[in-house]
Each structure stands twice: as C-alpha cells, then as structure tokens.
C-alpha cells in the first residue's frame, strides 16, 4: 500500500473505526502505556495516533509529560482532536504528518510509540528508522502489533485469507516477526503479549541498543 492508499482507507474508516477497533485492541494500548514508565516532563510521540483511542490510558492526574500525535489521515486526526478536548489536563499536540518522514530534529522524544501502525505504513523499515532517529539516545521505541510467524509457526488460515484484502482492510495480515523484528537484528528489551488470544506483541526497544538500524537500507 502506498501512502495515498493508506490515507484514503483510513479517511474512510474514520467514522466507524472506534466501533470496530476500540475494545478489541484496547488491552494492547493499556498495557503498552502502563509499561512505558512515563516520567515527568518526558516527550512522547505516537506515530499513527489514529482517532486517539490511547488518550484515556495516559495518567490524567500526573500530566507533566507531553504527547505529540501524528497521523497521515486528516479524518482520523479530526476524531483524535475531538477526543483530546476531553482530556484538557493532558498536553496533546496533534499534527498531520507522515511518520516515515517527519520534520522533527534528531533525538527529540523520550518515547516513540507505534501502536498498530507498523503493519500499516507503506515502508515499515523506513518508519522504524525514522522512529529511532527522532528518539533520544536514552529513549525507547514501543511497537504494538500483530505479527505472523511469531513462534516460528506457519500462517493461520485467517492470516492467509485476509492477506488478499490488505489493500482494502488497511493493514497487512501477513506481517512476519522474523522479517520485521528478529531479521533486522533488533536488540529487544522486552516482549509482552496482549489482546484476545495473546495475538498482539508489545515490543520494547532501547534506542542505544539499536542504532545500527539507522544505517539500514529501506525498501
């Protein structure tokens, strides 16, 4: 999928995205944010923030950190803007940007969060490189996603069936853990399972251990 296609699929999803993907993916959002150990004054960026379903999981009572949310779909971002207004204590800045090429300086953010976007973005390796570039050297990148072949097993029937429709459904159902995580030589700080049947992985990477990705060729 190219970026024009991703934009159009998610612009179309915007009105009913929450209905389909709110509850079913919420355990992953909650666990990922709880596990990030956010400190006062930290700068967090969520790439592919979507309609803002994560906002309720940030601690509204200790809001001394800031969240920058970016998305490639204007309609999804519009939904996020409406939700953000209900969390007036949180510092949320929302921008229409492509996470594969952002205007942020090197080492800007303490935490870079890729929530269900790694298997959606046109070029996942470019997105990962950009995430590491804008992350501080002491910071971390958090990938929350479904991966096929996680335990080295083959594709499930649903992964195989859905893969034919990835252009229409807006994500890759065949998204191999060995290709996009282990095969890149990533040093993983931790992996946590989430969502129904433990289908989602929350992968925590420390930037300092993964700078070799910055010189990796994208697609």
* Site residues, ligand SAM (CB under 6 A): 6, 10, 21, 25, 29, 47-50, 53-54, 70-73, 76, 98-100, 115-117, 120-121, 127, 171
> d(Cα 95, Cα 74) in Å, to the nearest integer?
9
Query: Least distance to ligand SAM from the beta carbon of 164, Å?
Result: 18
If the CB atoms of residues 64 and 93 are measured against ligand SAM, the closer one turns out to be: 93
Instruction: Report the 10 Å Cβ neighbour count for 197.
Output: 6
Quick one: 63 or 122, whose CB is closer to ligand SAM?
122
Nearer to ligand SAM, 151 or 217 (CB): 217
Q: Between 45 and 208, name the residue whose CB sits nearer to ligand SAM.
A: 45
- Between CA 81 and CA 73 the distance in angstroms is 12
Nearest distance from C-beta of residue 90 to ligand SAM, angstroms: 16
CB of 212 to ligand SAM, least distance (A): 22
What tokens appear for 143 in the block?
Answer: 């990938």
**Residue 127: partners with Cβ closer than 8 Å, 6 or more residues away:** 47, 99, 100, 114, 117, 118, 121
Integer Cα distance of 147 and 143 in angstroms? 11
Identity of the residue, 53 or 112, whose beta carbon is nearer to ligand SAM in the bound complex? 53
Joined tokens for residue 150: 């996680």
Q: How far is the CB of 114 from ligand SAM (least distance, A)?
A: 8
Using CB positions, name the residue nearest to ligand SAM: 50
Shortest reach from residue 96's CB to ligand SAM, in Å: 9
Kindly state the smallest distance separating residue 138's Cβ from ligand SAM, in Å: 24
- Residue placing its CB nearer to ligand SAM in the complex, 98 or 195: 98
Residue 205 CB-density burial (10 A; 0-12 exposed, 13-18 middle, 19+ buried): buried
Q: Find the helix or strand (DSSP H, E) in which 15 lies.
A: none
Torsion of Cα atoms, 80 then 86 then 92 then 98, to 10°: 0
């Amino acid at each position: 999928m190219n970026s024009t296609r991703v934009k159009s699929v998610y612009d179309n999803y915007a009105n009913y995205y929450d209905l389909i993907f709110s509850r079913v993916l919420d355990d992953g959002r909650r666990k990922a944010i709880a596990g990030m150990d956010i400190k006062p004054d930290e700068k967090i960026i969520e790439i592919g923030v979507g309609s803002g379903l994560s906002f309720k999981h940030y601690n509204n009572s200790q809001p001394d950190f800031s969240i920058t949310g970016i998305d490639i779909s204007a309609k999804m971002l519009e939904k996020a803007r409406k939700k953000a207004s209900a969390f007036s204590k949180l510092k949320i800045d929302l921008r229409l940007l492509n996470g594969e090429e952002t205007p942020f300086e090197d080492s800007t953010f303490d935490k870079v969060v890729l929530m269900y976007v790694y298997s959606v973005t046109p070029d996942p390796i470019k997105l990962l490189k950009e995430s590491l570039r804008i992350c501080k050297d002491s910071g971390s990148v958090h990938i929350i996603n479904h991966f096929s072949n996680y335990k080295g097993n083959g594709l499930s029937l649903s992964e195989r069936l859905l893969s034919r429709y990835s252009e229409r459904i807006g994500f890759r159902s065949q998204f191999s853990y060995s290709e996009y995580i282990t095969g890149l030589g990533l040093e993983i700080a931790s992996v946590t399972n989430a969502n129904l049947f433990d289908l989602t992985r929350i992968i925590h990477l420390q930037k300092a251990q993964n700078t070799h990705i910055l010189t990796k060729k994208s697609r």
